[in-house]
Chains A and B, each alone.
Chain A
Amino acid sequence: NAGVTQTPKFQVLKTGQSMTLQCAQDMNHNSMYWYRQDPGMGLRLIYYSASEGTTDKGEVPNGYNVSRLNKREFSLRLESAAPSQTSVYFCASSEGQFSYGYTFGSGTRLTVV
């Protein structure tokens, strides 16, 4: 009963480095999401994938790219990390886009120095 698994749990990057955050769900959910959470800002949507093969920008997509590798996996890539991307990143999945609650992964705490 893994649910949504995110890796890594913690990461420190230097400015300009790149990295990929991995997310996988085992609930056969169609939709997947990436959010970031910053103090005082709440959760903000970065990108989402309504179904396998589609991805779309959310509220704060700049500096990120995503790949919906298959139905299970949805990765988030930072091509050139900036200190402003220091945050906690959460991946979530849901059965469908509408009227369904999300199941979240345990998060990735990223610090960019």
Chain B
Amino acid sequence: RKEVEQDPGPFNVPEGATVAFNCTYSNSASQSFFWYRQDCRKEPKLLMSVYSSGNEDGRFTAQLNRASQYISLLIRDSKLSDSATYLCVVNGSPNSGYALNFGKGTSLLVTP
């Protein structure tokens, strides 16, 4: 089983829509959770950390459910500039120095 699993999409939504991405992770001992954004042919960039109590950054809301080992990202009022691939990221085991494990990403296309 992959460490981090995401629906690859693509998600095609109109401008202004609300879209949600989900992710599951396999290591119940994981402590660090993130969402990254990756534009086409560019490097991944940190979008936001995910905290146990849930957190919000402008139009973006992240939720963590430790019991279900499930992470979500909600984007409200989608903009054309939100079009990108969103990577769910979870820290790995001590054997890998807690290095981050990346999901394969969910592709979002926001259309006019």
Q: Which residues of chain A have a CB within 8 Å of any CB of chain B?
A: 31, 33, 35, 40-43, 45, 48, 50, 56, 58-59, 90, 97-107
Contact in complex: B46, A97 (CB < 8 Å): no
Contact in complex: A104, B45 (CB < 8 Å): yes
Contact in complex: B97, A90 (CB < 8 Å): no
What CA separation (Å) do A35 and B43 show in the bound complex?
A: 11
Contact in complex: A97, B98 (CB < 8 Å): yes
Contact in complex: A40, B43 (CB < 8 Å): no
Minimum CB distance partner of A43 in chain B = B102
Asked whether A42 and B97 contact (CB < 8 A) given A90-B44, A98-B91, A104-B43, the answer is no
B75-112, CB under 8 A of A: which get 1 and which 0?
00000000000010101100011111111110000000
Q: Which residues of chain B have a CB within 8 Å of any CB of chain A?
A: 31-32, 34, 36, 42-46, 49, 87, 89, 91-92, 96-105
| In the complex, chain A residues whose CB is within 8 Å of the CB of B101 | 45
| In the complex, chain A residues whose CB is within 8 Å of the CB of B32 | 98-100
Which has the most chain B C-beta neighbours within 10 Å: A40, A43, A100? A43
What CA separation (Å) do A33 and B92 show in the bound complex?
A: 13
The one of A31, A42, A100, A104 in contact with B105, judged by C-beta atoms closer than 8 angstroms, is A42
Contact in complex: A40, B104 (CB < 8 Å): yes
What CA separation (Å) do A42 and B91 show in the bound complex?
A: 15
List 15 additional contacts besides A45-B96, A101-B36; criterion CB under 8 Å. A31-B97, A33-B99, A33-B100, A40-B104, A43-B87, A43-B102, A45-B92, A48-B99, A50-B97, A90-B43, A98-B31, A100-B32, A103-B46, A104-B43, A106-B43
